[in-house]
Amino acid sequence: MYTGKVYRLYDMVRWTRFETLSFILIIVVWVCIYYFFNMEWFKIPWTPMALIGTAVAFVIGFQNNAVYGRIWEARKIWGGIVNTSRTFGVFVQDMLTNEYTVKDVSKTELDQEIKALTYRHIAWMTALRHSMRNQKKWETTSNHRTNTEWGVKAPEKVADLKEDLTQYLSPTDMEYVMDKGNKQTAILYLQSHHLRDLKERGIIWEFSFLELEAIVKQLFTLQGQSERIKNFPYPRQYATLNHYFMWMLLFFLPMALVPQFVDIGKEISENHPMMGGLFVWFSVPVYTAVAWIFHTMERIGRTGENPFEGTANDVPISTISRGIEIDLRQNLGDNKSDIPSQFPTEYGVQF
């Protein structure tokens, strides 16, 4: 997610500079055709262009509204993960006691059980964020040249999942989890089995066990909601056709715009011949500005279609997960030097 104080116009211009050069090339070619070959007769009336422009603007607006809904839903899901994780952390610390045990267990053993449950939860978040960053075949925005030239990548793109999980799971758990396709689901299964074992030993009271199992159920729900957004793309019939419609508008627009400037230039020529003769070239910046606005709005929609892809405008799930981990481990009493720091923000981008 871009976290700069101001999303500067310079950043937007640089982000779209290759397409902007294409717009300039298109309009310059058309102006040259009209200017040097006297083809004022070759034009399109404004009425059909206005209809096409209105349709394209409507579809782009629909796309951007739908995409914003996907982004906001993704952010709410991970906001729910934040709240549920904190609740799980405090419940685990307060519900594992000797109150209902037949034979008391030592404080050291209780602390080890609390730590195992907490660390396994961190492992679940780690596996989930890695899964969300796995690139799907329809996620192509991150491969665009203007998105790769900075050299900034999401932490999951440069880290190994197994290495990340090793520090939170026991060897036995690691063997079980790495053998499964959906590793975050496997971790929640282990979590539930562990809670049942503690309940049978009396370390967790039966009603406390039900509370903790309800949290595991909520985590499954949040995971499923996150996976739904990840695994179901924005419908191609909207995204792809919208892209083609936008380029169709930008290709035909000069045939209506340039003749209009030619006519205005003729009127100006009555009093200012030189200025009137060159006035047609003023259509270059006007067309470029109009084309840039339409294209940039459409590209913003395409960029936000997949909120977990790992681009600058995605939901910062890596930062969210690391923030939860820091909270849980600090309240667990881990040594400060052992607790990882937050992922760095580079070029104003927070993943």
Q: Kindly report, residue by residue over 135-160, the tens digit of the pLDDT.
A: 888 777 777 666 666 667 778 888 88
Give a yes or no: residue 312 inside a domain. yes
Which residue range(s) make up the domain with 64? 9-338
Q: Are 195 and 204 in contact (CB under 8 A)?
A: yes
Using CB atoms within 10 Å of the CB of residue 108, give its burial: 0 to 12 exposed, 13 to 18 middle, 19+ buried: exposed
Stretch 232-253: mean pLDDT: 82
Residue 315: per-residue pLDDT: 86
Q: Count of CB atoms within 10 A of residue 102's CB?
A: 7
- The number of distinct structural domains making up the chain is 1
Give a yes or no: residue 343 inside a domain. no
Backbone phi, psi, residue 105, to 5°: -105, 155
**Amino acid type, 162:** K
- The answer, yes or no, to whether residue 346 has pLDDT greater than 90, is no
Residue 89: per-residue pLDDT: 93
Q: Which residues contact 97 (CB under 8 A, 6 or more apart)?
A: 110, 203, 205
Residue 117: per-residue pLDDT: 95
**Amino acid type, 250:** L
pLDDT tens string 24-33: 898 888 888 8
Instruction: Tell me the sheet residues that pair with 349.
Output: 2, 346
The encoded tokens of residue 211 equal 């509370």
- The answer, yes or no, to whether residue 2 has pLDDT greater than 60, is no
Residue 156: per-residue pLDDT: 81
Write down the pTM of the prediction. Answer: 0.85
Give a yes or no: residue 1 inside a domain. no
Instruction: Name which of 231, 300, 271 is nearest 65 in CA terms.
Output: 300
Q: Are 257 and 250 in contact (CB under 8 A)?
A: no
Give a yes or no: residue 43 inside a domain. yes
- The answer, yes or no, to whether residue 7 has pLDDT greater than 60, is no
Residue 220: per-residue pLDDT: 95
Rounded to whole angstroms, the Cα distance separating 316 from 171 reads: 30
Give a yes or no: residue 346 inside a domain. no
Give a yes or no: residue 132 inside a domain. yes
pLDDT tens string 172-202: 999 999 999 999 999 999 999 999 999 988 8
Specify the DSSP class assigned to residue 168.
T
Rounded to whole angstroms, the Cα distance separating 166 from 178 reads: 10
Residue 226: per-residue pLDDT: 94
Residue 85: per-residue pLDDT: 95
Stretch 314-322: mean pLDDT: 90
Residue 83: per-residue pLDDT: 95
**Amino acid type, 301:** G
Give a yes or no: residue 29 inside a domain. yes
pLDDT band at residue 103 under the 50/70/90 scheme: confident
pLDDT band at residue 20 under the 50/70/90 scheme: confident
Residue 258: per-residue pLDDT: 85
- The answer, yes or no, to whether residue 77 has pLDDT greater than 60, is yes
Residue 343: per-residue pLDDT: 83
Residue 264: per-residue pLDDT: 78
Half-sphere exposure of 305 (CA within 13 A, CB side): 24
Rounded to whole angstroms, the Cα distance separating 42 from 90 reads: 74
Give a yes or no: residue 347 inside a domain. no
